[in-house]
Structure 1
């Protein structure tokens, strides 16, 4: 007996709506390391190591170091990429291909890796603009949030920025200035870099690249980070157009 057309259509619709991960997807998202090396359900094109290196140290140019950064900060950035709050063609695609559990696990994996040693000697003093800012131009001292040596505060909203490539740091400063990146708390980063001159920005980026990276402190675990409390909410429930709802740097 032939099934009624309406029943067939109903079964087809239910099958199309079934988003349960298959056995292959589950295998490739078993833990953060597997996701980083395989790209998870998104496939090999989304494998993190292709840009960030097998050790999470970045490519020394445009792809930043992830190893040893605060887990809460890394997870928050993944959530912001996925929601579009921090737009980036490659990272938005990669973050969206993972579910919330996958984004959390890959963040925890990179946070657990040892921070690579910088190969450049840190001989020059920190730029004055980094340490003191310039109140006359509304520039807040970078050190007030990220520490005198760029090691951050150990909390997700004030991450370690030492040991990152010059080109990456300059690109982020440019994105803060233009408004392309806006996932900072209450617009702090956008305001801080608004009046920076190009030579000042380059001096900061160059000096930070020579500073040694260090592991995130134990107190910066994802479960204890305020940024993760926001990241744990479904992206659709967050007001992604309001900068004060997010954090990052």
Structure 2
């Protein structure tokens, strides 16, 4: 009886061992393996099932990941894992990976080539380039580039993302459902956008942004950058309240 008791105790301790086994290590061997196989949690969580074989997204509502800034991608994965950015599917996927695996898969997607550029002939919406100082709206171009190409260091490229995805994110920033922006910048930036302005931005970005901005764009962007650099406290007053009351 004593031998059986010790055997059962040994099984319980083994079950509690969180050290990755051979299978787990195999399925987390590289960013590509994680993207194609789902990591230790298996194929049900494979990234490609939603984001495409080359990270191109689905063109409807799932964003592209290919060619985005690696630091930005990793931050999103960490925020999904911690719950700072809430999403039923992505939170489950991120939590199934350890931090090293989240970094690996982010780096793999960042190294993939971006989809072929779609050169939109449409001019950027005015609000994109100039913002609206009277309403406290900083120009989107200040952080995301005149053409939506991003500026690195956490300021991602947004050109080429599906319109439905962009609109959903704007709505989430506005409502406070998404709150993982540094210093409340995005929450403040979109808070006073009209629905018409949001749709214009989303449609223009979905078409690939613009490769030929108006001549005044540089000056507008410079002014917007100065506005974006104002003290965080000046922006926080426009941030929507948290749902938990804090």
Q: Same fold (TM over 0.5)?
A: yes
Query: Quick check: 1:151–1:213 contact (8 Å CA) kept in 2?
Result: no
Where does the alignment leave 5 or more consecutive residues of structure 1 unmatched? 215-249
Name the residue aligned to 2:142.
144
Deviations 1:17-38 (A, max 9, x none): 2011111111111100010001
Name the residue aligned to 1:181.
178
- Give the 3-state SS of the residue equivalent to 2:2 in structure 1: coil
**Distance in 2 between the 1:72 and 1:123 partners?**
31
**Distance in 2 between the 1:30 and 1:213 partners?**
39
Answering whether residue 108 of structure 2 is matched by residue 109 of structure 1, we say: yes
Answering whether residue 50 of structure 2 is matched by residue 51 of structure 1, we say: yes
The residue correspondences of 1:15-164 to structure 2 (distance < 5 A) are: 15-118=14-117, 120-155=118-153, 157-164=154-161
Shift of 1:87: 0.3
Deviations 1:41-79 (A, max 9, x none): 111110000111011100001110100001110001000
Given candidates 147, 160, 169, the residue that maps to 2:166 is 169
The residue correspondences of 1:207-246 to structure 2 (distance < 5 A) are: 207-211=204-208
- Give the 3-state SS of the residue equivalent to 2:53 in structure 1: coil
Shift of 1:95: 0.4
Shift of 1:138: 1.2
The Cα RMSD (Å) is 2.0
Given candidates 169, 191, 194, the residue that maps to 2:191 is 194
Answering whether residue 201 of structure 2 is matched by residue 204 of structure 1, we say: yes
**Distance in 2 between the 1:34 and 1:125 partners?**
40
Name the residue aligned to 1:2.
2
Normalising by structure 1, we get a TM-score of 0.81
Deviations 1:122-170 (A, max 9, x none): 0010001011111111111101111111111121x21111111101101
Shift of 1:81: 0.3
**Distance in 1 between the 2:147 and 2:33 partners?**
33
**Distance in 2 between the 1:205 and 1:33 partners?**
30
Where does the alignment leave 5 or more consecutive residues of structure 2 unmatched? 212-246
Question: Structure 1 residues 199 and 207 mapped into 2: Cα distance closer, same or farther (>3 Å)?
Answer: same
**Distance in 1 between the 2:208 and 2:2 partners?**
73
- By relative contact order (CA 8 Å, sep 6+), the higher-ranking structure is 1
Query: Quick check: 2:48–2:55 contact (8 Å CA) kept in 1?
Result: yes
Shift of 1:11: 2.8
Normalising by structure 2, we get a TM-score of 0.81
Deviations 1:163-213 (A, max 9, x none): 111011011001101111000011110011011111100100111112269
Larger Rg: 2
